[in-house]
Amino acid sequence: MVEKNLALPGNPRYQPKELLSFFGYDNLYRTVGEVELANIDILAELGVIPQEEYALLTPDARAVILDIPTTQIDITESNVTKHDIQAWREEARKIADPKLGRWFHLILTSFDALDTGRILQFLRAYQKAVRPSLVEVITILAVIVRRNSDVLQIGRTHGQFALPITVGFWLATVLNRLLYNMGEVDRYAEQLVGKISGAVGAFNAQVGLGITKLCENGPSFEEKVLAKLGLKPTKISTQILPPEPLANFLHSIHLLSAVFGQLGNDCRHLMRSEIAEISEPFSASQSGSSTMAGKRNPINWEGLVGDWQKAKCEYHKVQEGLISEHQRDLVGSRVARDFPILLVILQTQLNTLLKKDKTKKTFLERISINEAACKKNFQVAAPIALAEPLYIALQMAGFKGDAHKFVNHTLTPESLASGKLLVVVLEEMLPEDSELDKIYQNIPLEIRELLHHPENYTGKAAEKAQEIANLAMMIASSDWQERRKLCEE
Protein backbone atom coordinates (compact mmCIF):
# COMPACT_ATOMS: atom_id res chain seq x y z
CA MET A 1 0.00 0.00 0.00
CA VAL A 2 1.41 3.36 -1.10
CA GLU A 3 1.64 5.90 1.70
CA LYS A 4 -0.53 8.95 1.14
CA ASN A 5 0.84 12.42 0.68
CA LEU A 6 -1.11 14.39 3.29
CA ALA A 7 0.76 17.67 3.02
CA LEU A 8 -1.46 20.66 3.72
CA PRO A 9 -1.29 23.78 1.56
CA GLY A 10 1.14 26.39 2.80
CA ASN A 11 4.47 26.13 4.60
CA PRO A 12 5.37 22.49 5.43
CA ARG A 13 6.45 23.69 8.89
CA TYR A 14 2.80 24.28 9.80
CA GLN A 15 0.74 21.12 9.33
CA PRO A 16 -2.03 20.83 11.95
CA LYS A 17 -3.00 17.18 12.01
CA GLU A 18 -6.64 18.08 12.69
CA LEU A 19 -7.02 19.21 9.07
CA LEU A 20 -5.27 16.37 7.26
CA SER A 21 -8.45 14.42 6.52
CA PHE A 22 -9.99 17.49 4.89
CA PHE A 23 -7.12 19.26 3.13
CA GLY A 24 -4.31 16.69 3.12
CA TYR A 25 -3.16 16.59 -0.51
CA ASP A 26 -4.20 13.05 -1.38
CA ASN A 27 -7.62 13.60 0.22
CA LEU A 28 -8.54 16.63 -1.87
CA TYR A 29 -10.69 14.73 -4.39
CA ARG A 30 -12.61 12.76 -1.80
CA THR A 31 -15.43 15.31 -1.75
CA VAL A 32 -15.40 15.42 -5.57
CA GLY A 33 -16.08 11.69 -5.40
CA GLU A 34 -18.91 12.30 -2.93
CA VAL A 35 -20.59 14.72 -5.34
CA GLU A 36 -20.14 12.36 -8.27
CA LEU A 37 -21.55 9.39 -6.33
CA ALA A 38 -24.51 11.43 -5.06
CA ASN A 39 -25.23 12.31 -8.69
CA ILE A 40 -25.26 8.61 -9.59
CA ASP A 41 -27.49 7.81 -6.59
CA ILE A 42 -30.14 10.28 -7.73
CA LEU A 43 -29.93 9.24 -11.38
CA ALA A 44 -30.58 5.69 -10.21
CA GLU A 45 -33.39 6.82 -7.92
CA LEU A 46 -35.07 8.51 -10.88
CA GLY A 47 -34.71 5.40 -13.06
CA VAL A 48 -32.17 6.88 -15.44
CA ILE A 49 -29.57 4.30 -14.43
CA PRO A 50 -30.87 0.71 -14.62
CA GLN A 51 -30.95 -0.91 -11.21
CA GLU A 52 -28.81 -3.84 -12.27
CA GLU A 53 -26.07 -1.42 -13.29
CA TYR A 54 -26.48 0.75 -10.18
CA ALA A 55 -26.16 -2.42 -8.07
CA LEU A 56 -22.56 -2.63 -9.27
CA LEU A 57 -21.81 0.38 -7.05
CA THR A 58 -21.07 -1.75 -4.01
CA PRO A 59 -19.92 -0.32 -0.67
CA ASP A 60 -16.41 -1.54 -1.44
CA ALA A 61 -16.44 0.18 -4.82
CA ARG A 62 -17.67 3.39 -3.21
CA ALA A 63 -14.89 3.30 -0.66
CA VAL A 64 -12.18 2.82 -3.29
CA ILE A 65 -13.61 5.55 -5.52
CA LEU A 66 -13.73 8.01 -2.64
CA ASP A 67 -10.13 7.16 -1.81
CA ILE A 68 -8.65 7.99 -5.23
CA PRO A 69 -5.50 9.94 -4.32
CA THR A 70 -4.77 13.35 -5.78
CA THR A 71 -1.29 12.23 -6.81
CA GLN A 72 -2.77 9.55 -9.07
CA ILE A 73 -5.17 12.07 -10.60
CA ASP A 74 -2.20 14.37 -11.19
CA ILE A 75 -0.39 11.64 -13.13
CA THR A 76 -3.39 10.92 -15.34
CA GLU A 77 -4.07 14.61 -15.86
CA SER A 78 -0.47 15.30 -16.80
CA ASN A 79 0.00 12.29 -19.09
CA VAL A 80 -3.45 11.77 -20.55
CA THR A 81 -6.37 14.15 -20.07
CA LYS A 82 -4.81 17.56 -19.34
CA HIS A 83 -7.98 18.06 -17.26
CA ASP A 84 -8.34 17.23 -13.58
CA ILE A 85 -11.97 16.08 -13.47
CA GLN A 86 -11.58 14.06 -16.64
CA ALA A 87 -8.58 12.50 -14.94
CA TRP A 88 -10.72 11.71 -11.89
CA ARG A 89 -13.32 10.09 -14.16
CA GLU A 90 -10.65 8.00 -15.87
CA GLU A 91 -9.43 6.75 -12.51
CA ALA A 92 -12.97 6.07 -11.27
CA ARG A 93 -13.74 4.07 -14.41
CA LYS A 94 -10.71 1.88 -13.78
CA ILE A 95 -12.26 0.93 -10.43
CA ALA A 96 -15.91 0.46 -11.45
CA ASP A 97 -17.46 -2.09 -13.73
CA PRO A 98 -17.68 -0.59 -17.27
CA LYS A 99 -21.51 -0.79 -17.14
CA LEU A 100 -21.43 1.51 -14.12
CA GLY A 101 -18.44 3.58 -15.19
CA ARG A 102 -20.24 5.04 -18.18
CA TRP A 103 -22.49 6.98 -15.80
CA PHE A 104 -19.74 8.90 -14.02
CA HIS A 105 -19.96 12.69 -14.41
CA LEU A 106 -23.13 12.41 -16.49
CA ILE A 107 -24.91 15.82 -16.83
CA LEU A 108 -22.36 17.43 -14.50
CA THR A 109 -19.74 20.01 -15.27
CA SER A 110 -16.38 19.99 -13.55
CA PHE A 111 -17.19 22.77 -11.12
CA ASP A 112 -20.43 21.16 -10.04
CA ALA A 113 -18.11 18.63 -8.43
CA LEU A 114 -15.18 20.91 -7.59
CA ASP A 115 -17.02 23.90 -6.15
CA THR A 116 -19.54 21.80 -4.25
CA GLY A 117 -16.82 19.47 -3.01
CA ARG A 118 -14.78 22.46 -1.84
CA ILE A 119 -17.73 23.75 0.20
CA LEU A 120 -17.99 20.35 1.89
CA GLN A 121 -14.28 20.51 2.78
CA PHE A 122 -14.55 23.95 4.36
CA LEU A 123 -17.73 23.14 6.26
CA ARG A 124 -16.41 19.90 7.69
CA ALA A 125 -12.98 21.31 8.54
CA TYR A 126 -14.61 24.14 10.46
CA GLN A 127 -17.30 22.09 12.18
CA LYS A 128 -15.18 19.06 13.07
CA ALA A 129 -11.75 20.57 13.75
CA VAL A 130 -11.50 24.35 13.95
CA ARG A 131 -14.67 25.06 15.89
CA PRO A 132 -14.15 22.47 18.66
CA SER A 133 -10.63 23.83 19.17
CA LEU A 134 -12.00 27.37 19.22
CA VAL A 135 -14.60 26.47 21.83
CA GLU A 136 -11.88 24.91 23.98
CA VAL A 137 -9.79 28.09 23.80
CA ILE A 138 -12.84 30.21 24.60
CA THR A 139 -13.63 28.05 27.63
CA ILE A 140 -10.08 28.27 28.99
CA LEU A 141 -9.92 32.01 28.36
CA ALA A 142 -13.26 32.52 30.11
CA VAL A 143 -11.85 30.81 33.23
CA ILE A 144 -8.80 33.09 33.12
CA VAL A 145 -11.03 36.14 32.74
CA ARG A 146 -13.10 35.11 35.75
CA ARG A 147 -10.02 34.45 37.85
CA ASN A 148 -8.54 37.84 37.05
CA SER A 149 -11.70 39.91 36.83
CA ASP A 150 -10.66 42.14 39.76
CA VAL A 151 -6.85 41.99 39.42
CA LEU A 152 -5.86 45.64 39.16
CA GLN A 153 -4.04 46.78 36.02
CA ILE A 154 -3.30 50.15 34.51
CA GLY A 155 -5.06 50.59 31.20
CA ARG A 156 -3.01 51.76 28.24
CA THR A 157 -3.87 53.79 25.15
CA HIS A 158 -1.34 54.89 22.52
CA GLY A 159 1.27 52.93 24.51
CA GLN A 160 0.80 55.31 27.44
CA PHE A 161 -0.70 54.89 30.90
CA ALA A 162 -4.44 55.60 30.83
CA LEU A 163 -7.21 54.71 33.29
CA PRO A 164 -7.34 51.86 35.82
CA ILE A 165 -8.85 48.61 34.58
CA THR A 166 -8.43 44.95 35.54
CA VAL A 167 -6.55 42.12 33.87
CA GLY A 168 -9.85 40.28 33.45
CA PHE A 169 -11.37 43.25 31.66
CA TRP A 170 -8.50 43.46 29.19
CA LEU A 171 -8.77 39.73 28.41
CA ALA A 172 -12.56 39.97 28.21
CA THR A 173 -12.26 42.45 25.35
CA VAL A 174 -10.35 39.78 23.43
CA LEU A 175 -12.76 37.05 24.50
CA ASN A 176 -15.73 39.09 23.34
CA ARG A 177 -14.18 39.49 19.90
CA LEU A 178 -13.68 35.73 19.69
CA LEU A 179 -17.33 35.14 20.55
CA TYR A 180 -18.51 37.67 18.00
CA ASN A 181 -16.38 36.35 15.16
CA MET A 182 -17.20 32.72 15.94
CA GLY A 183 -20.84 33.73 15.64
CA GLU A 184 -20.10 35.32 12.28
CA VAL A 185 -18.33 32.21 10.99
CA ASP A 186 -21.30 30.13 12.17
CA ARG A 187 -23.68 32.48 10.38
CA TYR A 188 -21.79 32.37 7.12
CA ALA A 189 -21.22 28.62 7.39
CA GLU A 190 -25.00 28.21 7.31
CA GLN A 191 -25.10 30.20 4.08
CA LEU A 192 -22.59 28.02 2.22
CA VAL A 193 -24.28 26.40 -0.76
CA GLY A 194 -23.55 24.01 -3.59
CA LYS A 195 -24.50 23.72 -7.26
CA ILE A 196 -25.49 21.01 -9.70
CA SER A 197 -26.46 23.31 -12.56
CA GLY A 198 -24.19 22.44 -15.47
CA ALA A 199 -21.69 24.07 -17.75
CA VAL A 200 -23.02 27.64 -17.63
CA GLY A 201 -25.33 27.24 -14.65
CA ALA A 202 -28.55 27.18 -16.68
CA PHE A 203 -29.38 23.45 -16.22
CA ASN A 204 -29.13 22.91 -20.01
CA ALA A 205 -28.48 19.17 -19.86
CA GLN A 206 -31.07 18.57 -17.13
CA VAL A 207 -33.79 20.34 -19.10
CA GLY A 208 -32.77 19.26 -22.62
CA LEU A 209 -32.34 15.59 -21.75
CA GLY A 210 -35.54 15.24 -19.72
CA ILE A 211 -34.05 14.98 -16.23
CA THR A 212 -36.04 17.99 -15.03
CA LYS A 213 -39.36 16.33 -15.99
CA LEU A 214 -38.55 13.36 -13.78
CA CYS A 215 -38.52 15.73 -10.81
CA GLU A 216 -41.67 17.71 -11.57
CA ASN A 217 -43.58 16.61 -8.48
CA GLY A 218 -40.90 17.19 -5.88
CA PRO A 219 -37.50 18.69 -5.25
CA SER A 220 -35.42 19.49 -8.29
CA PHE A 221 -32.59 17.24 -9.42
CA GLU A 222 -30.09 19.75 -8.02
CA GLU A 223 -31.89 19.82 -4.68
CA LYS A 224 -31.96 16.03 -4.51
CA VAL A 225 -28.24 15.63 -5.17
CA LEU A 226 -27.24 18.37 -2.76
CA ALA A 227 -29.59 17.08 -0.06
CA LYS A 228 -27.63 13.81 -0.04
CA LEU A 229 -24.56 15.92 0.74
CA GLY A 230 -26.26 18.01 3.40
CA LEU A 231 -26.24 21.19 1.31
CA LYS A 232 -28.74 23.58 -0.22
CA PRO A 233 -28.42 25.00 -3.74
CA THR A 234 -27.49 28.55 -4.60
CA LYS A 235 -30.35 30.53 -6.11
CA ILE A 236 -28.47 30.93 -9.40
CA SER A 237 -24.96 30.29 -10.65
CA THR A 238 -22.73 30.46 -13.67
CA GLN A 239 -20.48 27.47 -14.22
CA ILE A 240 -19.09 28.34 -10.79
CA LEU A 241 -20.74 29.22 -7.52
CA PRO A 242 -21.25 32.91 -6.75
CA PRO A 243 -18.15 33.79 -4.71
CA GLU A 244 -19.72 35.79 -1.88
CA PRO A 245 -20.88 32.99 0.47
CA LEU A 246 -17.43 31.39 0.63
CA ALA A 247 -15.69 34.78 0.65
CA ASN A 248 -17.79 35.88 3.64
CA PHE A 249 -17.07 32.63 5.44
CA LEU A 250 -13.33 32.95 4.85
CA HIS A 251 -13.42 36.63 5.74
CA SER A 252 -14.80 35.69 9.15
CA ILE A 253 -12.13 33.00 9.49
CA HIS A 254 -9.43 35.61 8.85
CA LEU A 255 -11.08 37.96 11.36
CA LEU A 256 -10.79 35.23 13.98
CA SER A 257 -7.12 34.95 13.14
CA ALA A 258 -6.82 38.70 13.69
CA VAL A 259 -8.22 38.37 17.22
CA PHE A 260 -5.51 35.85 18.07
CA GLY A 261 -3.04 38.26 16.52
CA GLN A 262 -4.38 40.91 18.89
CA LEU A 263 -3.97 38.60 21.88
CA GLY A 264 -0.45 37.78 20.79
CA ASN A 265 0.41 41.44 20.25
CA ASP A 266 -0.98 42.47 23.65
CA CYS A 267 0.83 39.69 25.49
CA ARG A 268 4.07 40.25 23.62
CA HIS A 269 4.16 43.86 24.77
CA LEU A 270 3.04 43.06 28.31
CA MET A 271 5.87 40.51 28.47
CA ARG A 272 8.48 43.22 27.83
CA SER A 273 11.24 43.25 30.46
CA GLU A 274 10.23 46.67 31.74
CA ILE A 275 6.52 45.71 31.99
CA ALA A 276 6.54 41.98 32.81
CA GLU A 277 2.84 41.77 33.65
CA ILE A 278 2.47 38.48 31.81
CA SER A 279 4.77 35.62 30.91
CA GLU A 280 4.50 32.50 28.83
CA PRO A 281 5.68 29.12 30.12
CA PHE A 282 9.36 28.28 29.66
CA SER A 283 10.29 24.59 29.61
CA ALA A 284 13.29 23.06 31.30
CA SER A 285 15.09 22.39 28.00
CA GLN A 286 14.04 25.58 26.21
CA SER A 287 16.48 28.22 24.91
CA GLY A 288 15.51 31.87 24.78
CA SER A 289 18.38 32.87 22.51
CA SER A 290 21.19 31.21 20.60
CA THR A 291 23.72 33.38 22.42
CA MET A 292 22.03 35.46 25.16
CA ALA A 293 21.43 32.73 27.70
CA GLY A 294 19.41 34.93 30.04
CA LYS A 295 16.64 35.67 27.56
CA ARG A 296 13.12 34.30 27.49
CA ASN A 297 11.53 35.40 24.26
CA PRO A 298 7.75 35.59 23.72
CA ILE A 299 7.94 33.12 20.84
CA ASN A 300 4.36 31.87 21.08
CA TRP A 301 2.83 35.33 21.29
CA GLU A 302 4.96 36.45 18.37
CA GLY A 303 3.86 33.35 16.47
CA LEU A 304 0.21 34.34 16.88
CA VAL A 305 0.95 37.76 15.40
CA GLY A 306 2.98 36.28 12.54
CA ASP A 307 0.16 33.88 11.72
CA TRP A 308 -2.26 36.80 11.52
CA GLN A 309 0.08 38.59 9.11
CA LYS A 310 0.01 35.48 6.93
CA ALA A 311 -3.79 35.25 7.11
CA LYS A 312 -4.13 38.88 6.10
CA CYS A 313 -2.05 38.28 2.99
CA GLU A 314 -3.78 35.00 2.13
CA TYR A 315 -7.23 36.58 2.33
CA HIS A 316 -6.24 38.87 -0.52
CA LYS A 317 -6.37 35.77 -2.74
CA VAL A 318 -10.03 35.31 -1.81
CA GLN A 319 -10.71 38.89 -2.90
CA GLU A 320 -9.04 38.19 -6.23
CA GLY A 321 -11.60 35.44 -6.80
CA LEU A 322 -14.58 37.80 -6.64
CA ILE A 323 -14.58 38.29 -10.41
CA SER A 324 -14.19 35.86 -13.30
CA GLU A 325 -14.29 36.11 -17.09
CA HIS A 326 -17.83 35.58 -18.39
CA GLN A 327 -19.33 32.44 -16.80
CA ARG A 328 -15.90 31.29 -15.58
CA ASP A 329 -12.20 31.17 -16.37
CA LEU A 330 -9.20 29.26 -15.10
CA VAL A 331 -7.41 32.28 -13.65
CA GLY A 332 -9.04 31.86 -10.25
CA SER A 333 -8.88 28.08 -10.05
CA ARG A 334 -5.18 28.03 -9.19
CA VAL A 335 -5.65 30.77 -6.61
CA ALA A 336 -8.62 28.98 -5.00
CA ARG A 337 -6.46 25.95 -4.28
CA ASP A 338 -4.75 28.09 -1.64
CA PHE A 339 -7.93 29.10 0.19
CA PRO A 340 -7.63 26.28 2.79
CA ILE A 341 -4.45 27.96 4.05
CA LEU A 342 -6.70 30.36 6.00
CA LEU A 343 -8.08 27.48 8.06
CA VAL A 344 -4.61 25.98 8.39
CA ILE A 345 -3.35 29.27 9.83
CA LEU A 346 -6.25 29.57 12.26
CA GLN A 347 -5.87 25.97 13.42
CA THR A 348 -2.13 26.60 13.89
CA GLN A 349 -2.94 29.55 16.16
CA LEU A 350 -5.41 27.45 18.11
CA ASN A 351 -2.88 24.66 18.46
CA THR A 352 -0.31 27.13 19.79
CA LEU A 353 -2.69 28.00 22.61
CA LEU A 354 -3.84 24.42 23.18
CA LYS A 355 -0.45 22.67 23.11
CA LYS A 356 -0.13 20.53 26.23
CA ASP A 357 2.87 19.87 28.41
CA LYS A 358 3.68 16.67 30.29
CA THR A 359 1.06 17.54 32.89
CA LYS A 360 -1.62 17.73 30.15
CA LYS A 361 -2.15 21.44 30.76
CA THR A 362 -2.46 23.67 27.71
CA PHE A 363 -0.14 26.58 26.99
CA LEU A 364 -3.01 29.00 27.61
CA GLU A 365 -3.66 27.48 31.04
CA ARG A 366 0.02 27.84 31.94
CA ILE A 367 0.46 31.54 31.20
CA SER A 368 1.28 33.62 34.27
CA ILE A 369 -0.22 36.93 35.36
CA ASN A 370 2.35 38.75 37.47
CA GLU A 371 0.16 40.58 39.98
CA ALA A 372 3.20 42.12 41.66
CA ALA A 373 4.30 43.66 38.35
CA CYS A 374 0.76 44.84 37.67
CA LYS A 375 0.74 46.52 41.08
CA LYS A 376 4.17 48.06 40.57
CA ASN A 377 3.24 49.49 37.17
CA PHE A 378 -0.03 50.74 38.57
CA GLN A 379 1.79 52.60 41.31
CA VAL A 380 4.01 54.27 38.73
CA ALA A 381 0.92 55.40 36.81
CA ALA A 382 -1.15 56.27 39.91
CA PRO A 383 -0.13 59.96 40.30
CA ILE A 384 -1.78 60.99 37.02
CA ALA A 385 -4.24 58.10 36.60
CA LEU A 386 -7.21 60.12 37.84
CA ALA A 387 -6.81 63.16 35.61
CA GLU A 388 -10.14 62.37 34.01
CA PRO A 389 -12.39 62.39 37.11
CA LEU A 390 -10.49 65.33 38.59
CA TYR A 391 -11.01 67.66 35.67
CA ILE A 392 -14.65 66.60 35.28
CA ALA A 393 -15.30 67.08 39.00
CA LEU A 394 -13.73 70.56 38.91
CA GLN A 395 -15.72 71.56 35.87
CA MET A 396 -18.99 70.35 37.44
CA ALA A 397 -18.13 72.11 40.72
CA GLY A 398 -17.95 75.51 39.02
CA PHE A 399 -14.41 75.90 37.67
CA LYS A 400 -14.57 79.03 35.53
CA GLY A 401 -11.97 78.24 32.91
CA ASP A 402 -10.95 75.05 31.12
CA ALA A 403 -10.50 72.46 33.88
CA HIS A 404 -8.97 69.99 31.43
CA LYS A 405 -6.27 72.50 30.50
CA PHE A 406 -5.69 73.32 34.18
CA VAL A 407 -5.15 69.65 35.07
CA ASN A 408 -3.10 69.02 31.93
CA HIS A 409 -0.75 72.00 32.06
CA THR A 410 -0.68 73.03 35.72
CA LEU A 411 -1.22 69.95 37.88
CA THR A 412 0.24 67.18 35.72
CA PRO A 413 3.81 68.54 35.38
CA GLU A 414 4.05 68.96 39.17
CA SER A 415 2.55 65.50 39.73
CA LEU A 416 5.04 63.89 37.36
CA ALA A 417 7.93 65.75 38.95
CA SER A 418 6.99 65.02 42.55
CA GLY A 419 5.25 61.65 42.26
CA LYS A 420 2.29 63.04 44.17
CA LEU A 421 -1.33 62.35 43.23
CA LEU A 422 -2.93 65.07 41.13
CA VAL A 423 -5.46 65.71 43.86
CA VAL A 424 -2.67 66.15 46.43
CA VAL A 425 -0.95 68.71 44.17
CA LEU A 426 -4.30 70.49 43.91
CA GLU A 427 -4.91 70.44 47.65
CA GLU A 428 -1.49 71.96 48.27
CA MET A 429 -2.54 74.92 46.14
CA LEU A 430 -5.80 75.59 48.01
CA PRO A 431 -4.41 77.70 50.94
CA GLU A 432 -3.10 80.21 48.40
CA ASP A 433 -6.24 80.25 46.20
CA SER A 434 -9.54 80.77 48.02
CA GLU A 435 -11.58 80.64 44.81
CA LEU A 436 -10.08 77.31 43.86
CA ASP A 437 -10.62 76.09 47.44
CA LYS A 438 -14.30 77.04 47.23
CA ILE A 439 -14.69 75.11 43.98
CA TYR A 440 -12.89 72.11 45.44
CA GLN A 441 -15.17 72.09 48.48
CA ASN A 442 -18.14 71.96 46.08
CA ILE A 443 -16.98 68.55 44.94
CA PRO A 444 -18.95 65.88 46.85
CA LEU A 445 -16.97 64.30 49.69
CA GLU A 446 -17.18 60.78 48.26
CA ILE A 447 -15.65 61.98 44.98
CA ARG A 448 -12.87 63.81 46.79
CA GLU A 449 -12.18 60.58 48.65
CA LEU A 450 -12.15 58.64 45.37
CA LEU A 451 -9.58 61.03 43.91
CA HIS A 452 -7.14 59.80 46.58
CA HIS A 453 -7.63 56.13 45.61
CA PRO A 454 -6.92 55.41 41.93
CA GLU A 455 -7.30 51.69 42.62
CA ASN A 456 -11.04 52.26 43.15
CA TYR A 457 -11.57 53.99 39.80
CA THR A 458 -12.04 50.85 37.71
CA GLY A 459 -15.61 51.51 36.65
CA LYS A 460 -17.40 48.36 35.54
CA ALA A 461 -14.19 46.55 34.57
CA ALA A 462 -14.68 43.57 36.90
CA GLU A 463 -18.41 43.43 36.25
CA LYS A 464 -17.98 43.45 32.46
CA ALA A 465 -15.24 40.83 32.69
CA GLN A 466 -17.56 38.49 34.58
CA GLU A 467 -20.38 39.22 32.15
CA ILE A 468 -18.34 38.26 29.09
CA ALA A 469 -16.87 35.22 30.85
CA ASN A 470 -20.37 34.02 31.77
CA LEU A 471 -21.55 34.54 28.19
CA ALA A 472 -18.59 32.56 26.89
CA MET A 473 -19.24 29.70 29.29
CA MET A 474 -22.91 29.64 28.33
CA ILE A 475 -22.06 29.48 24.63
CA ALA A 476 -19.43 26.81 25.21
CA SER A 477 -21.81 24.75 27.35
CA SER A 478 -24.57 25.06 24.75
CA ASP A 479 -22.13 23.99 22.05
CA TRP A 480 -21.08 20.96 24.09
CA GLN A 481 -24.67 19.94 24.76
CA GLU A 482 -25.53 20.25 21.07
CA ARG A 483 -22.56 18.12 20.06
CA ARG A 484 -23.44 15.44 22.57
CA LYS A 485 -27.00 15.43 21.25
CA LEU A 486 -25.73 14.96 17.69
CA CYS A 487 -23.49 12.09 18.82
CA GLU A 488 -26.42 10.38 20.55
CA GLU A 489 -28.53 10.69 17.43
What is the CB neighbour count within 10 angstroms for residue 460? 10
From first CA to last CA, the distance across the chain in angstroms is 35
CA-wise closest residue to 444 among 397, 387, 406: 397
Residues, the chain: 489
Is 428 part of a structural domain of the chain? Answer: yes
Indicate whether 420 belongs to any domain. yes
Q: What is the pLDDT of residues 361-394, one digit of tens each?
A: 999 999 999 999 999 999 999 999 999 999 999 9
Q: Residue 360's pLDDT band (boundaries 50, 70, 90)?
A: very high
Tens of pLDDT, residues 409-468: 999 999 999 999 999 999 999 999 999 999 999 999 999 999 999 999 999 999 999 999
pLDDT reported for residue 486? 53
Tally the domains of the chain. Answer: 2
The whole-number pLDDT of residue 284 equals: 61
Query: Residues 440, 446, 447, 453: is their CA dihedral positive or negative?
Result: positive
Of 85, 107, 129, at which residue does a domain stop? 107
pLDDT for 281 equals 77
The SS3 assignment for 157 reads: strand
Which residues 6+ apart lie within 8 Å of 86 measured at CB? 77
Strand, coil or helix: 68: coil
pLDDT category at 294 given cuts 50, 70, 90 is: low
Q: Which of 177, 137, 171 is nearest to 153 (CA)?
A: 171
Beta bridge partners of 233: 194
Q: What is the rounded distance in angstroms from the CA atom of residue 281 to the CA atom of residue 454?
A: 31
Average of per-residue pLDDT across 282-304: 73
Domain-terminating residue out of 76, 107, 138: 107
Reported as a single tens digit per residue, the pLDDT across 171-183 is 999 999 999 999 9
Q: What is the pLDDT of residue 288?
A: 63
What is the DSSP secondary-structure string of 321-337? Answer: TT--STT--SHHHHHHT
In a domain, 156, yes or no: no
410 lies in some domain:
yes
Q: Give per-residue pLDDT as tens, 150-201.
A: 999 999 999 999 999 999 999 999 999 999 999 999 999 999 999 999 999 9
The answer to the question of residue 391 being in a domain is: yes
Radius of gyration over every alpha carbon of the chain, rounded to an integer in angstroms: 31
65 found inside a domain: yes
CB–CB of 233/223 below 8 Å? yes
pTM: 0.93
The model's confidence at residue 326, banded by pLDDT at 50, 70 and 90, is confident
Q: For the residues 93-105, what does the mean pLDDT come to?
A: 95
Instruction: Note down the domain range covering 415.
Output: 387-456
Domain boundary among 60, 85, 107: 107
CATH number at residue 101: 1.10.275
pLDDT tens, residue by residue, 1-38: 578 999 999 999 999 999 999 999 999 999 999 999 99
Examine residue 195 and state whether it is found in any structural domain, yes or no: no
Domain assignment of residue 235, yes or no = no
Could you tell me if 173 and 230 are in contact, meaning their C-beta atoms sit under 8 angstroms apart?
Answer: no
pLDDT over 70 for what percent of the chain? 95
